[in-house]
Amino acid sequence: TRPPVTVLGLGLMGTALAAAFLRAGHPTTVWNRTASKTGPLVAQGAIPADTPAEAIAASPLTVVCLTTYDDVTAVLTPLTATLAGRTLVNVTNGTPVQARKSAAWAEEHGIAYVDGGIMAVPQMIATPAAYVLYSGSQEAYDRHRTTLSALGGTRWTGTDAGLAALYDLSLLTGMYGMVMGVAQSYALVRSEGISAQDFAPLLEDWLNAMTAGIVPRTAEAVDSGRHLTDVSSIAANQAAFPNLLHTFADQGVRPDLFEPMRQLLDHALSEGHAGDGLSRLVELLAEPR
Ligand code: NDP
């Protein structure tokens, strides 16, 4: 038989996590603040717990998935004695600072702590496309990795508990950049009455081609510090970028999302980087802290 596991928080994601553990054959104890949400999981074989303490006591491994770290703190702070000697995997979305704070709190109370970043929507959990980033106690991670693999791929990022969140937020940052671009692009074609669905194949192919070039090329330039380009210069981009902003204005599309890019290109040029590629922007974004 598979090792037991506890899931705290049965929102959209927590429910998917608990269902995946059940399907993989793990005795799964579940708790949710709103008790009625345990129903569908109990029908799939989950064991409902009346309190989070009872749920934690049922398994060596507890996975917690609430809305925010503040919610996790509110639920778990009174339960340190129950958690002591067990493993807590916190897959709630948060910041590296919050994750490190949770790890320090856990260490203080003898709780093995692993922080997680879920790179999937609930429907993807336990499919080959899903993976979870982990950081924190490597010993606890190694011990429970097989159980955690019921959720999808497992990616270890390091013993600094903040790293899973840093990787997670960095990936989301790239995604939101794309979301902004896609939204602006559709707003622009629709301003001429062009259907988004007609335009979609062009946009998808273009973004795929650009991603395949820009992602690895920028990484290489940033790591080597060699930004000089024979592909597309800061000078050329700075000269052409206002064409976008003028067209947004002409077509009645808000320019807010794209104005900061013009400022960054202007800054790059004024700093003397005319012949560099757009990879130079990575360095201009870094601020002293
Ligand atoms: P939901 O809003 O569906 O669920 C939130 C869960 O948190 C519910 O179980 C809710 O309980 C519980 N909760 C909130 N506050 C408290 C509290 N103070 N005390 C006890 N329980 C509390 O959100 P999701 O399941 O979608 O998301 C959960 C986490 O997973 C978030 O951090 C999210 O960013 C992350 N995530 C979600 C993804 C997604 O695609 N959905 C993808 C990757 C990460 P109740 O039912 O009683 O309200």
d(CA 286, CA 289): 9
The pair of structure tokens assigned to 105 is: 């709190």
The per-residue pLDDT for 133 is 98
Ligand 1, atom 16, lies closest to the CA of: 71
Number of domains in the chain: 2
Ligand 1, atom 23, lies closest to the CA of: 11
The Cβ-side half-sphere exposure at 75, using a 13 Å CA radius, reads 26
Ligand 1 pocket test: pick from 33, 63, 75, 79 the residue with the most ligand atoms within 8 Å of its Cβ.
33
Residue 179 lies inside a defined structural domain of this protein: no
Kindly tell me the burial class for residue 203, based on how many C-beta atoms sit within 10 Å of its own C-beta (0-12, 13-18, 19 or more). Answer: middle
Same domain, 214 and 73: no
Same domain, 281 and 141: no
Same domain, 223 and 148: no
Residue 173 lies inside a defined structural domain of this protein: no
Same domain, 138 and 93: yes
Kindly tell me the burial class for residue 41, based on how many C-beta atoms sit within 10 Å of its own C-beta (0-12, 13-18, 19 or more). Answer: buried
User: Could you tell me the distance, in angstroms and rounded to a whole number, from the CA of residue 68 to the centre of ligand 1?
Assistant: 7
Residue 18 lies inside a defined structural domain of this protein: yes
The pair of structure tokens assigned to 246 is: 């003028």
**Residue range(s) defining the domain that contains residue 106:** 5-166
**Structure ipTM:** 0.99
The per-residue pLDDT for 271 is 97
Residue type, 123: Q
User: Could you tell me the distance, in angstroms and rounded to a whole number, from the CA of residue 27 to the centre of ligand 1?
Assistant: 22
CATH of the domain at 91: 3.40.50.720
- End-of-domain residue from the set 145, 166, 187: 166
Each residue's pLDDT expressed in tens, for the chain with a length of 289 residues: 899 999 999 999 999 999 999 999 999 999 999 999 999 999 999 999 999 999 999 999 999 999 999 999 999 999 999 999 999 999 999 999 999 999 999 999 999 999 999 999 999 999 999 999 999 999 999 999 999 999 999 999 999 999 999 999 999 999 999 999 999 999 999 999 999 999 999 999 999 999 999 999 999 999 999 999 998 999 999 999 999 999 999 999 999 999 999 999 999 999 999 999 999 999 999 998 8
Same domain, 161 and 221: no
Residue 101 lies inside a defined structural domain of this protein: yes
The per-residue pLDDT for 1 is 85
Residue 192 lies inside a defined structural domain of this protein: no
Same domain, 249 and 155: no
